[in-house]
Chains A and B, each alone.
Chain A
Amino acid sequence: MKQNYSIFTLVRNALNYHQDWQEAWRSPAPKPEYDVIVIGGGGHGLATAYYLAKEHGITNVAVLEKGWLGGGNTGRNTTIVRSNYLWDESAHLYEHSLKLFEGLTQDLNYNVMFSQRGLMNLAHTQHDMQALRRRVYAIQLNGIDSEILTPEQIKEMVPILDCSATARYPIMGASLQRRGGVARHDAVAWGFARKADERGVDILQNTEVTGFRIENGVVKGVETTRGPIGAKKVGIVVAGHSGVLAGMAGFRLPVESHPLQALVSEPIKPILNTVVMSPQVHVYVSQSDKGELVLGAGIDAYTSYAQVGSPFIIENQLNALTDLFPCFGRLRMLRQWGGIVDTCPDASPIIGKTPVENLFINCGWGTGGFKATPGSGNVFAHTIARGEPHPLAVPFALDRFTSGYLIDEHGAAGVAH
């Protein structure tokens, strides 16, 4: 068992100058074979390993990460968590995840700082308002919290927003999910890693998968930069590199990898207490506990594996920001970065089997998979353990691109984070 993290152990350790804290996870040598190998030590991969161990009793598991755990999109995202999705299939999946988020800090004994400070989606045109109502009514009928705000209510919640009628795109209303918010991305990865490790999962950092061992259409293991490792089952959870890994296994995915950028301001005292998103003027923003404004926008249109994007995206995004929040003009950009997001044609993920037996894939979360981290890991673990998709994952199978059963979250979503 890992040491318990609590105020009491913190105080006790303080008395000993914190000399006795143990490592959060081991750095083991790879075993020759595992029951399950999870490729990708992002949040989704680590959560998959954790739930395999916790809920399915499969502990002979390795997570293979080419760099440092949580260094992919998990450590680069803008941490928005919500479940206000339009289509039933998505709403149920993301709500499953949101519910897991609500107990995650306790479950992992690691404070993931899930801050349900509410999340607002602004509408600026008649058309936006129609789309917004449609979504809110659908979300409500799915039993998920969502409400419509008038401009007056918006102004009251976020006084620094420019709610004037003369704005280029005046704010006409907003939807609000009160249970939505932000969480600490690193903590989610680290919390899952620590608890997975506690249950025996080997987390192998700096271990890149370079190929698959496939015999008669059945996966037998992987090739890595640290040598071959055998496995009875393998799950691919590598976000922006899904296409690369699928290529190694000999199949193609309807996934494109695009840069998605984000940036933060210098920290300032609390000025914004909710998450504000505007698909129309294309920016979204929240303020981290440290005080930094965290903001993002849309993807770069071209495909790329380089974690950098175009400067004009940043310019447009800051245009939009300073227009919505004229008082932010004098703040400064402190850091800026990009991640590579795996986007599907219908902006929904792929979870399930692949053409290779015992090889499973979980990808396509694109610009919005952080919020799904526990849920995704949970249903993917089930899918790997049972060899059958979790009921919530059924609609998200790869074959939907053959059947045409798409779950198109583009339509009414705009910016989808």
Chain B
Amino acid sequence: MSAQKNRLATGGRIDRSRPVRFTFDGKAYYGYQGDSLASALLANGVTLVGRSFKYHRPRGIVSAGAEEPNALIEVGTGNRREPNTRAPQIELYDGLTTASQNRWPSLDFDLGAVNSCLSRFFPSGFYYKTFKWPKDGWLFYEKFIRRMAGLGTGSTEADPDRYDKVYGHCDVMVVGGGPAGIAAALAAGRAGARVVLVDEQSELGGSLLSERDRSIDGKPAMDWVAAAEAELAAMPEVKVLTRTTAFAYLDANMLSCVERITDHIGPNASGPRQRLWRIRAREVILATGSIERPLVYSDNDRPGCMLASAGRTYVNRYGTAPGQRVVILTNNDTAYQTALDFAAAGVSVAAVVDLRANPQGALVQATRDKGIEVIANSAITHVKGAKQVKEVDVMSLSADGKSVTGGVRHIYCDTVLSSGGWQPTVHLHSQTRAKVVWNEELHAFVPGPVMPGQNNVSVGAAKGVFGLADCLAEGHEAGAEAARRFGFTNAAGSAAGAEAEPAAEPLRPMWIVPSDKPVGQGGKHFVDYQNDVTAADVMLAHREGYLSVEHLKRYTTMGMATDQGKTSNVNALAIMAGLRGMNIPEVGTTTFRPPYTPVTFGVFAGPDKGDFLDPIRKTPIHQWHADHGAAFECVGQWHRAWYYPKAGESMHDAVNREVKATRDSVGIVDASTLGKIDIQGPDAAWFLNMVYTNAWTKLEPGKCRYGFMCGEDGMVFDDGVTSRIAENHFHMTTTTGGAARVLSWLEEWHQCEWPDRKVYFTSVTEQWAVFALNGPNSRKVLEKVVSGIDLSEEAFPFMSWRDCEVAGVKARIFRISFTGALSFEVNVPPSYALHVWRALMSAGEEFNITPYGTEALHVLRAEKGFVIVGQETDGTMTPQDLGFEWIIGKAKPDFIGRRSHLRSDTARPDRKHLVGLLTENPQEVLPEGAQIVEHVKDKPPMTMIGHVTSSYWSPNANRSIAMAVIKNGRNRMGQTVYLPYDGKVVAARIAKTDFLQDGAAANA
């Protein structure tokens, strides 16, 4: 086991008896169970962990949490490689493989670092000013720029993991498992409320995890946490979710959370990797804590520069020192706790450099008492060491704090910790679109009034209340109060207590820590580490007029990195405010949008992948089609039999055979996918009169009628046959793809426009299997298996329906035809479908009954010029355009679309009309979608007058046939037009759409 040189002998929440092996950039290391990748790397003395986005500057670990801007790591390999993962949030497990990113050829020697040398030429927005020559040069430059950008490398293999989704409901949702959040959950839970407590860390405790010797209710704080955890676990109505980030606060108190279930176990874990929770809460308690701000000092990005609080977390929680010798730079008292904890853990603190003139607070004194030097009224003006801090320069501040004076002190160290104060984590509060307000005492934004309807309250550090006792009390009160409000009356107990913190002196806001050179001319003062935005860049944005916060962000890319500015937003804003001579709140805040931290795409997709992307719908006899060699096509969500090739047959052969057999004898098609809507109620006929263009009130029970529905714009929207079952009862059929759309349409008109009408719509698409027998012998086939009705023309005429039995099964037969041939559509309950289908097949055997698929169906209907909505129409065709003048109920006072038919352009006689098209060469089958011109030119542009909507080889007409919509087409019968496509020109004649002039009348 290699030595963990920075590991402390004792302390922390790691298990020293359980070493864990991991690799970083191919090199093996050991950490302990309970380590994060960041703490394990620090323990092993690895400070250089990444390269920045733009300048490829060497970078180390800055934080110990979700705010990490620098330490972005590729976790895993192959199909599990996951770029840009924050090292402090990666839990160590045995076999964890990690790598640095955005460097080539190696982290230590990165050629991209030449950007850093040239950084002077690459200020913010430089790319807007250059790469403009030659005119189309950008694509060339872009290649290189893209390669330099982009941080980690995504896997190109399919993600092998599973994801889950779940919905939850509760009375009280607590976000954040620190002292305030735990207190809230305890109080609400004890009162009897249903509570969900989420925390993004692996265990509860929040800030207490980083404390050294705090106590609550007289016992060590973490003992109190453990007891609380046990108590919560015993409450049946309380759920505690650790490793769960509430990342979005949505409307009406819904929170999206992601639970990381197996990420900390590794690829061999069973179960889903992550789970998406959508939790609707009656009340949300935001106990999300606060994030420390770094100071903006010269060279503040050197590996080894870290937040003071992070240093403390590494020492106290992980039992590792961030380095061997530390200098602390601060503008407030909290960093002194770090100094004290370091001293207690035996880590050497070279000095605390305080920006304040004369700090005298209790912690400051205690630090001095420990013999640690406090250098007041001073600043760090340089940090030396490219890949690891080696030394800092310290100088005294001038009276106004804008510059430095006097001599330089060089202090040897390998770590610089800074604290610029604390910013409450107001992200979720802000996501509700509630405002945040600037607090002059804390020098931070705190939550403003909550949004109406978004019942939440912020407590503890998230609200800017930092004392432990106060946090416990606030959390308790919020939890108890919410429970009380919802009527839970069990005793909530009383708030836990803690000793007060030593009194602190105010912080000194100093948004840029001066150096001996003007900002931008010496070392770099980084504001946004990851995106390499410096104080000088903010100044440049100001100079160039990018003044509003959003312009600043977009121009400099400040706050746009994967950490979303958690450590940089306020600093940048404050610097801009200083430049503009305004107060910080006058400059504005940025709105926080979800997600709080980046969330895996896969977890949004959840299990709905592959075949579950969209339900696959199959007809009740799908398997029969498959068994008989059918090829299938996707029609909407349906898989429909397309054609049934026999051995050796091409698609063309099979379709020809099916089409011919149907015209000559009998064919059968599975039309179960047809949309079917059962319509009942006293106003059913009235309603149909409104949604269809033709008249419905006089249709007798037992009869069927074909109709078009139009949109308000008068354009055809769907079509189908609807039958009157009884006075107040209709059976509507729609197109296969349009079924759901039509049902919503009917409901919309009913619910929004005519709510008083008594009519009810029920989808019955799947309650009926539909088999259509087509062809001259269809009656003969059906006669063999039908009972209860007379199938003769006289007894059962075209466009009527009858109830009967087919093969012993109750059936409803419609005499309607989509082929123009004699046809019977047999409807039976789906559970009997296969039985009936088989019966029809064997009854038809002597007539060579031929199952046909959708392709033959299309050819057969085209031979007779029947339209398919969605093929002949595209939302721009009226029924009149399609040649259905007769289907418009002229006598009807109104129907949807009627008024639009009266508009001048819609009423024009020379609109595009549906016509037939016969190619000059009868063998030439046009592609559907081919465009039609009157006059061919050598090259485009050419004026188009229409396009081919349907086109097939017709074995019955023994030639190619096509339908087309052509400007003024009906008045151009016989004219020759041209179709230029795929480099050739085909001539065709405009014709009628009935391509079987020689007969096969509609209902022979």
A positions within 8 Å CB-CB of B: 5-7, 9-11, 14, 17-19, 21-27, 67-68, 71, 75, 88, 102-103, 105-106, 109-111, 113-117, 124-127, 130-138, 140-143, 159-160, 162, 167-169, 184, 186-187, 190-191, 205, 265-271, 281, 287, 289-291, 306, 308, 311, 314-315, 318-323, 326-337, 345-346, 400, 402-406, 408, 410-412
Contacts and interface: CB of A to CB of B under 8 A. Distances in A.
B132 A109 contact: yes
Contacts of B236: none
Contacts of A130: 871, 928-929
B606 A17 contact: no
B543 interface: yes
A287 B251 CA distance: 30
Interface in B358-376: none
Contacts of A162: 158
6 contacts: A6-B130, A127-B737, A167-B610, A318-B604, A320-B613, A334-B595
Interface string B428-440: 0000010000000
Interface in B937-952: 939-942, 944, 947
A417 to B, nearest CB: 19
Interface stretch (B81-89, B287-295, B383-391, B810-818): B81-89
B149 interface: yes
Contacts of A137: 929-931, 947, 981
B129 A9 contact: yes
Given A186-B554, A187-B128, A410-B875, A326 B158 contact: yes
A314 to B, nearest CB: 6
Interface stretch (B134-142, B505-513, B672-680): B134-142
Nearest to B907: A404
Given A137-B931, A289-B142, A290-B149, A111 B551 contact: no
Contacts of A131: 874, 929
**Which of B130, B547, B605 has the most CB atoms of chain A within a 10 A radius of its CB?**
B605
Given A114-B138, A332-B84, A406 B562 contact: no
B980 interface: yes
A125 B634 CA distance: 6
A111 B129 contact: yes
B610 A323 contact: yes
Contact of B600 (A269, A331, A403): A331
Interface stretch (B10-18, B118-126, B698-706): B118-126
A319 B613 contact: yes
Nearest to A318: B604
A14 B941 contact: no
Nearest to B941: A143
A320 B546 CA distance: 37
B973 interface: no
A320 B903 CA distance: 40
Interface string B450-487: 00000000000000000000000000000000000000
B835 to A, nearest CB: 31
Interface string B614-634: 101000000000000000011
A320 B604 CA distance: 10
B930 A168 contact: no
B83 A268 contact: yes
A408 B155 CA distance: 41
B170 interface: no
B109 interface: no
A11 B875 contact: no
B545 interface: yes
A377 B307 CA distance: 49
Interface in B127-178: 127-133, 135-136, 138-139, 142, 145-147, 149-159, 161, 163
A75 B635 contact: no
A263 B70 CA distance: 23
Interface string B862-900: 000000001100111000000000000000000000001
A295 B251 CA distance: 22
Contacts of B154: 268-269, 271, 327-328, 330-331
B278 interface: yes
Interface string B37-70: 0000000000000000100000000000000000
A412 B874 contact: yes
Given A138-B931, A269-B147, A329-B605, A111 B138 contact: yes
Contacts of A281: 613-614
A332 B611 contact: no
B634 A169 contact: yes
Contact of B540 (A21, A190, A333): A21
B2 interface: no
A300 to B, nearest CB: 12
Contacts of A329: 158-159, 161, 163, 600-602, 605
B875 A336 contact: no
B238 interface: no
A172 to B, nearest CB: 9
A322 B135 contact: no
B544 interface: yes
Given A10-B121, A88-B944, A328-B154, 6 more contacts: A7-B131, A102-B135, A141-B933, A267-B149, A333-B600, A333-B604
Contacts of B725: none
Contacts of B903: 402-404
B904 interface: yes
A134 B158 contact: no
A22 B871 CA distance: 58
Contacts of B601: 265, 318, 321-322, 328-333
Given A127-B871, A266-B83, A269-B153, A141 B941 contact: yes
B393 interface: no
Interface in B519-537: 520-521, 536
Contacts of B546: 24
Nearest to A332: B598
B296 interface: no
Contacts of A330: 80-82, 154-155, 159, 161, 600-602
A315 B604 contact: yes
Contacts of A109: 132
Contact of B947 (A26, A102, A134, A184): A134
Contacts of B715: 408
**Which of A9, A160, A169, A404 has the most CB atoms of chain B within a 10 A radius of its CB?**
A404
Contacts of B131: 7, 111
B594 interface: yes
B155 A141 contact: no
A168 B944 contact: no
Contacts of B548: 67-68, 71, 205
B605 A318 contact: yes
B613 A169 contact: yes
Contacts of A160: 156
B144 to A, nearest CB: 10
A412 B616 CA distance: 23
A10 B616 contact: no
Nearest to A5: B129
A335 B121 contact: no
A263 B980 CA distance: 41
B564 A335 contact: yes
Nearest to A125: B634
B256 interface: yes
B401 interface: no
A308 B598 CA distance: 18
**Which of B161, B634, B712 has the most CB atoms of chain A within a 10 A radius of its CB?**
B634
A384 to B, nearest CB: 26
B714 interface: yes
A18 to B, nearest CB: 5
A102 B137 CA distance: 11
B132 A5 contact: yes
Nearest to B121: A14
A103 B906 CA distance: 39
A126 B594 contact: no
Contacts of B79: 327
A291 to B, nearest CB: 3
Nearest to A136: B929
